[in-house]
Amino acid sequence: MADETLSSTEGGEPASNVRKYSTLIAAAIGAAYGLSLRLLAAWHSGFALILVMSCGFIFFMPFALGCISVYIDELQRPRKVWTWIFMPWLPMVAALMVLLLVMLEGLICIVMLLPVGLLLASLGGVAGGMSARFVRSQRARRVTMTCIALLPLLAHPWEKQALYQWETRRVESAIDIQASPELIWRNIERVPAIRGEELPPSWAHAVGFPDPVEATLSHEGVGGVRNASFTGGVLFIETVDVWEPGRRLGFTIAAQPIPPKTLDEHVTVGGEYFDVLRGEYQLETLAPGVIRLHLSSQHRVSTDFNWYAHFWTDAVMSDVQKRILRVIQQRCQAQEREARGPRS
């Protein structure tokens, strides 16, 4: 990155125009850098230089993008420090929107990347601004920026060996239901088709996670098979291994092959990075006619950055479970009122 590139015509009209639009030019270069890395991750044969689900892309790419953008902008004219912090958001958001529009990434992945991406882009922007303003040696600046630009690629050869983890997480949700245990049990062993109006709003569904549809049961008791279906052709085969009527219903979960366009490949259930392993309902009596229904699940997260990934997987599983519990609550309480009939 030659320091003279954008200022070679200083004193003339071209240089004036460059300075006028330097922020947009710098943002475009930063966005192009991020998009180039994503295309590099998509195009590889046999040997990958970078993967999307890696620290190199998730963390180092936004940092380098912000650093490059602010560095180029700062060389043209000094900017306020707050510009170093917020200007990198422009190329970061622009790159993500392009990926969404060309369907290289799904909305759910964009949402998961955005918070940490914006933060690291800002940190990179501060580093780029300081480098352009305070490092006097042109050669030192060039070496520094080259190393930062290559950082995502340099991380790839070693990060999986050093950071990869296979982790099992447990998420539990609960809801209080005014109904008898027997009635609640009938509504959890099988879940008849769910109407759209029964489902409460959901942020997970808004970003692309399928809606629950129904759960069938082959036969009662241990060994019974529940087919839990979701929109988009998503199907989970749930084999009952705990059967205690009125108390506990537990089952192992096996995700069936999911249609390619239903979920982004990086968050597909049963994929390389995420899977749902087990579910269990438990009924807890709080008072006569008041039951607390617990729904817990176990899922697998296997990435180089589980400490960040499980924040999102826990949140998605919690959101899904709360929606299912809400449907069961509404159904049970409506059936309980209907069974009691009008008050005399």
Measured CA to CA, the distance from residue 203 to residue 52 in angstroms comes to 23
Sheet holding 165-177, edge to edge: 165-177, 290-303, 274-287, 248-255, 234-244, 225-230, 212-217
In this structure, is the dihedral angle defined by the CA atoms of residues 26, 29, 33 and 38, taken in order, positive or negative?
Answer: positive
If DSSP codes are grouped into helix, strand and coil, which group holds residue 266?
coil
Which candidate, 11, 302, 278, 16, places its Cα nearest to that of 164? 302
Q: Where would I find the beta strands (DSSP E) of the chain?
A: 165-177, 212-217, 225-230, 234-244, 248-255, 274-287, 290-303
DSSP 196-215: GGGSPP-HHHHTTPPPEEEE
Q: Are 294 and 284 in contact (CB under 8 A)?
A: yes
CA trace torsion 312, 41, 88, 113 (10° rounding): -10
Tokens 């479970």 belong to 321
**Distances 243 to 49, 184, 283 between C-alpha atoms, Å:** 49, 14, 12
Q: Are 165 and 106 in contact (CB under 8 A)?
A: no
Per-residue pLDDT 10s for the chain (344 aa) are 445 444 444 445 555 655 668 899 999 999 999 999 999 988 865 567 899 999 999 999 999 999 999 999 999 889 999 999 999 999 999 999 999 999 888 899 999 999 999 999 999 999 999 999 999 899 999 999 999 999 999 998 899 899 999 999 999 999 999 999 999 999 999 999 999 999 999 999 999 899 999 999 999 999 999 999 999 999 999 999 999 999 999 999 999 988 777 777 888 888 899 999 999 999 999 999 999 999 999 999 999 999 999 999 999 999 999 999 999 999 999 999 998 876 54
Measured CA to CA, the distance from residue 57 to residue 235 in angstroms comes to 31
Domains of the chain: 13-160 (no CATH), 165-340 (3.30.530.20)
Residue 235's CB is within 10 A of a number of other CB atoms, namely 15
CA trace torsion 63, 95, 271, 194 (10° rounding): 120
Q: Are 216 and 227 in contact (CB under 8 A)?
A: yes
Provide the greatest CA pair distance for the chain: 93
- Cut 0.85: pTM above it: yes
